[in-house]
Amino acid sequence: MSPLLEIRGLSVRFDVGDATLTAVRDLSFDIAEGQCVGIVGESGAGKSQTFLAALGLLAENAKAEGSVRYRGREILNVPRRELDTLRGRRIAMVFQDPLSGLTPTLRVGRQIEEAARRHLGMNARQARAKAREMLETVRMPDAEHCLDAYPFELSGGMRQRVMIALGMICRPDLLIADEPTTALDVTIQAQILGLLAEMRRELNTSIVLITHDLAVAAGLCDRIMILYNGRLMESGTTSEVFTSPKHPYTAGLLASLPSLASDPATDLPAISGQPPDAFVTTPGCAFAERCLQVMDRCRIERPVLAAHEGRHAAACHLNTK
Amino acid sequence: MTGPLLTVESLCVDYEQRRAGLFSSRARTLRAVDGISFELAEGETLGIVGETGCGKTSLGKAILQLVKASAGRVIWRGVDLARTDAETLTRLRSELQIVFQDPLSALNPRMPVGEIVSEPLRVHAPDISAKERQAAVAAMFERVGLRTEMTRGYPNEFSAGQCQRISIARAMITQPRLLVCDEPVSALDVSIQAQICNLLRRLQRETGISILFISHDLSVLRYMSHRVMVLYLGRLMEIGRRDELFDNPRHPYSRALIDAIPEADPNQSPLGMADALPGEIPSALDPPSGCVFRTRCPIATPECARERPPDECIAESHRVSCHHWRQARSQ
Ligand SMILES: Nc1ncnc2c1ncn2[C@@H]1O[C@H](COP(=O)(O)OP(=O)(O)O)[C@@H](O)[C@H]1O
Ligand code: SF4
Ligand code: SF4
Ligand SMILES: [Mg+2]
């Protein structure tokens, strides 16, 4: 069986004046049916651009190379029209800032109704009922009132519920959620994560959760991909990656997180230095400058990781000695 | 040292909110900080936690006299800051500094960062020579983990983490005794957060500075604080020693906040997390009567809607504002 989404050798470059910025570098991985995959990395690691590229939503100055297949069908760089049948129907996206996905001048009810009419061919009455049903599905407090509200009248958590309602209206195979809870308060974040887990259990939707927050990914995801400098550093099941990380970067990230169990009397084991520049491409390992276990070989030879094999693997020479 | 360094008594901050109508403009008052009291000792870090709009930033700014309190007092080393003369206030201001969340926007983009860091010295120590100032800046750069030749660069040449180091250098250059850190690591990458946390802890060890550490992130807060204060809609819900508050929270809201923290633990399921604390945060323009937390509280009673719970001291340096703290689940 072919995976739901098959990404091979994906690169994304931006033309900025006379320089080229490489946001995504030769990425290959799969998203299997029914899975929830966490795409974890720091800002600028290329998490968002990977999926914007897959959905044909890159900025004007961007160029994508490689291959992205949805159920075996190539979708990278195909004409927009071809993607329109996928986006919003088979694949839905939810962003950090839900306002960016909503029309400010239209009542929430109208926006969901329009999606129902456009994607499901419903008449006005059916669409109205569908809008209410969707708001109830996402457990909107006071759904009735929300139908008549404008986006700006809703709180961040409520807007995110509206985005999820809009995204789930066609029961997509894949929901891509890009930092869906980053702008939310912690108790509201808990509500939205709970909702995503529920959607997944009830509708069996595959989810890609893009996040900088390892802890957010830990609870929800089956698999984790760690991105750094546009490259895949580690891939494995959530428990493999969290309990026995193979890449020094992953291990460093996990160690540097303060948790409720960490000892406040000792310093946090921080990763030193800064993430590398997206304008520069080094021949070796992107993490070499910050890695405590760096070897001569790391600076000249790039470690590779082919994650589509589905096993726990890391792009690190320590694993291929 | 006798007595606390800082005493905050029943502090209130109000903002006038104008709503322009067609025929009238109606002014409404938003109470951002509502009767907050606490003390801070020398060398101590008090963590302040709460959700959006709970008044964390307003509280910090009111203490530094950057916004005006509408009631209550801020007493710094025995001086009531709102009622002292301008000269004393200017002198004491050099002892009180702030570090903001967004490091880049807090720095003047057209100034070399060395000048940004030396600026407070010009104001607060006008007598020292340019050479001494330069030496102080260079020494401060090294202390916060920046190379001295970086002083010539401009803010946009630095990463977010480096900008936050520069902000901290600027705040520390006058050798303050209180640092208000308003979400100082929230805008930073995970791998950089730990660096800045460690830096602040080291500076505190070296100088004995007191810190008000404002954060929405309880894991970071626990790591940074000796004591923790939990706010909700402008009011103090609970304050206590770190371990006491985390191991034995007495306020239902503190409990819920701790429960809602995602842990880097693959066995933690978010199913059911949605129920940890249902509902939305009410508007500060129209807070619930009685206890402001009652619309989300799992153990609210009619009494909670009628009467505002008092700040009750339930143990040494542990205060709770809840009618029913004895019933609140403690584990
Ligand atoms: N329109 C654009 N023009 C130039 N560079 C861009 C543009 N959009 C994103 N980038 C750059 O691409 C890199 C990866 O971005 P992104 O995928 O958004 O990272 P993440 O989602 O992991 O934070 C970053 O260096 C970012 O600055
Ligand atoms: S390849 Fe080398 S530098 Fe890179 S993470 Fe592994 S050990 Fe460190
Ligand atoms: S006073 Fe009442 S509503 Fe407020 S926290 Fe206590 S029990 Fe809950
Ligand atoms: Mg992103």
* Interface pTM, i.e. ipTM: 0.85
Indicate whether A177 belongs to any domain.
Answer: no
Residue A255 lies in a domain: yes
* Model confidence at A183: pLDDT above 90: no
Burial label for A294, CB within 10 Å (0-12, 13-18, 19+), is: middle
Rounded to the nearest angstrom, the gap between the alpha carbon of residue B178 and the centroid of all alpha carbons in its chain is: 12
Task: Write down the pLDDT at residue A142.
Answer: 85
* DSSP H helical ranges for A21-123: 47-54, 80-84, 108-120
Amino acid B39: pLDDT? 96
- pLDDT confidence of residue B20: 56
pLDDT digits (tens, 9 = 90+) for A271-308: 999 888 888 888 999 999 999 999 999 999 999 886 55
Check pLDDT > 70 for residue B310: yes
Instruction: Look up the pTM and report it.
Output: 0.90
Tokens of A37: 């995959």
- What is the per-residue pLDDT across B149-169, written as a single tens digit (0 to 9) for each? 999 999 999 988 999 999 999
Residue A5, in any domain of the structure: no
The residue whose two tokens read 């807070």 is B287
Q: Give the model's pLDDT for residue B73.
A: 97
Is the pLDDT at B308 greater than 90? The verdict is yes
Find, among A11, A42, A15, the residue nearest to A28 by Cα: A11
In the predicted structure, residue B8 carries a pLDDT above the cut 80: yes
In the stretch 39-78 of chain A, residues with CB closer than 8 A to chain B read 42-43
What is the model's pLDDT at position B319? 97
Per-residue pLDDT, B19: 61
Q: What value does the CA radius of gyration of chain A take, rounded to a whole number of Å?
A: 21
For residue A29, being part of any structural domain is answered with no
Q: How far apart are CA B40 and CA B22, in angstroms?
A: 48
Q: Maximum Cα–Cα distance for chain B, whole Å?
A: 67
Q: Give me the helices (H) in chain A, please.
A: 47-54, 80-84, 108-120, 124-137, 143-147, 156-168, 186-203, 214-220, 238-243, 248-256, 296-300
Q: Inspect the interface and report whether the beta carbons of B189 and A42 lie closer than 8 Å.
A: yes
Determine whether the interchain pair B280/A212 forms a contact, defined as Cβ–Cβ distance below 8 Å. no
Local structure of A40: helix, strand or coil:
strand
Percentage above 90 pLDDT, chain A: 67
**Nearest ligand to the C-alpha of residue A230?**
1
Mean pLDDT value of segment A42-69: 94
Q: Which residues of B touch A190 (CB under 8 A)?
A: 259-260, 262, 270, 273-274, 276-277
Flag whether A257 is in a domain.
Answer: yes
What pLDDT shows up at residue B327? 84
Alpha-carbon separation of residue B215 from A155, A267, B46, B47, B157 (angstroms) = 20, 18, 11, 7, 27
Q: What pLDDT does residue B21 have? A: 56
The pLDDT score that the predictor gives to residue B331 is 43
Mean pLDDT, rounded, of chain B: 91
Q: What was the pLDDT predicted at A4?
A: 94
The domain total for chain A is 1
Give tens-digit pLDDT for A93-144: 998 887 878 898 999 999 999 999 988 999 999 999 999 999 998 988 888 8
Question: Residue B202: closest CA among chain A residues belongs to which residue?
Answer: A267
Q: Which residues contact A240 (CB under 8 A, 6 or more apart)?
A: A312
Confidence of residue B1 (pLDDT cuts 50, 70, 90): very low
DSSP state of A32: -
Summarize the confidence of residues B207-229 as an average pLDDT. 95
Residue type present at position A20:
T
Tokens of A142: 């006071």
Which residues on adjacent β-strands are paired with residue A5?
A31, A70
Residue of B19, B200, B223 best to disrupt the A interface, most CBs of A under 10 A: B223
Residue A101, in any domain of the structure: no
Closest ligand 3 atom to residue B298 Cα is 8
The yes-or-no verdict on residue B24 having pLDDT over 60 is no
| Better-predicted residue by pLDDT, A232 or A259 | A232
Order of strands, sheet of A231-237, starting from the edge strand that comes earlier in the sequence? A91-94, A174-178, A206-211, A36-40, A223-228, A231-237, A313-314
In this prediction, residue B57 carries a pLDDT of 92
Domain that holds residue A266: 242-321
Nearest to B254 by CA among B195, B321, B200: B321
- Can you say whether residue B282 is alpha, beta or left, with left for phi > 0 and alpha for psi between -120 and 50 degrees? beta
- How many CA atoms lie less than 13 Å away from B125 in the CB half-sphere? 17
Residue-wise pLDDT tens digits, A200-238:
888 889 999 999 999 999 999 999 999 999 999 999 999
Answer whether residue B274 shows pLDDT above 80: no
Percent over 90 (pLDDT), chain B: 71
Amino acid at B109: P
Residues at CB less than 6 angstroms from ligand 2 = A 247-248, 285, 287-288, 291, 293-295, 298, 303, 316-318
Query: According to the model, what pLDDT value does residue B190 have?
Result: 86
